[in-house]
Every structure is written in C-alpha cells, then in structure tokens.
Amino acid sequence: MKYRLFRIAIWLMPFTALIGCTHTVERPVIQTQVQTVKVPVSVPCRKGETPQAPVALRDRFTREEWDALTTDQRENLSQAQAQDRKAYGDKLAVNTAGCE
C-alpha cells in the first residue's frame, strides 16, 4: 500500500509543477524617475599649512656618526627628537581642530 501511494505521488509531481507554472502573474509597472542623491565627500579640514614632520634620528646620522657620539649626546638628541615630535603633534592638533 505504501509503495502504491509513493508511485502515485511520484507520478503526480510533474503535473503539480506544471500547475504551479501555469497561473498568470501580474507584472509590476516600472516607472523610471531621476533622483538626485547627495554623497558626502571628505574635504580637508585643516587650517593653514601642514606643519613639517620632524626628521628621524636614523635619517640625520649615519651609523658611524651615531656610534661616535657619547651616551649623553645620544640622550640629548633623543630628548630633542621627543620634544620635536610633541611640538609637531601639538601643531597638527591645532591645525586640525575643526575636524570631526
């Protein structure tokens, strides 16, 4: 009995698929309209000129010149570079204060 019902179901499957495809579908009406879309564009918000970035110590001195310096000289140069970088950061922060 189960086998017979299975065969009938298999036999009816193509017909049910055809019945599903034969009904009419109302197609939506497509109307074209021109719309203006505003796209945000990033604008540089810096005031004035960009401050010049400090030069790294490795670019100022060759390896031989660096090795010839005393420990105190190296320390002073490192501290001066740190102050230069802090000053650069402060100038950049002031220059870009209007940015969000």
| C-alpha distances out from residue 51 to 10, 39, 42, 54, Å | 79, 30, 21, 9
**Pair 14, 68: CB distance under 8 Å:** no
pLDDT at 19: 67
pLDDT per residue rounded down to tens, the chain (100 residues): 666 767 777 776 776 666 666 666 677 777 788 888 888 776 667 777 788 889 998 899 999 999 999 999 999 999 999 999 999 999 888 887 766 6
Q: CA 50, CA 89: separation in Å to the nearest integer?
A: 11
Give the pTM.
Answer: 0.50
Residue 20 has a pLDDT of 63
Quickly list H helices, the chain. Answer: 2-22, 57-60, 63-68, 71-95
Look at residue 92 and give its three-state secondary structure. helix
Torsion of CA 28, 32, 35, 41, to 10 degrees: 90
**Predicted pLDDT of residue 4:** 74
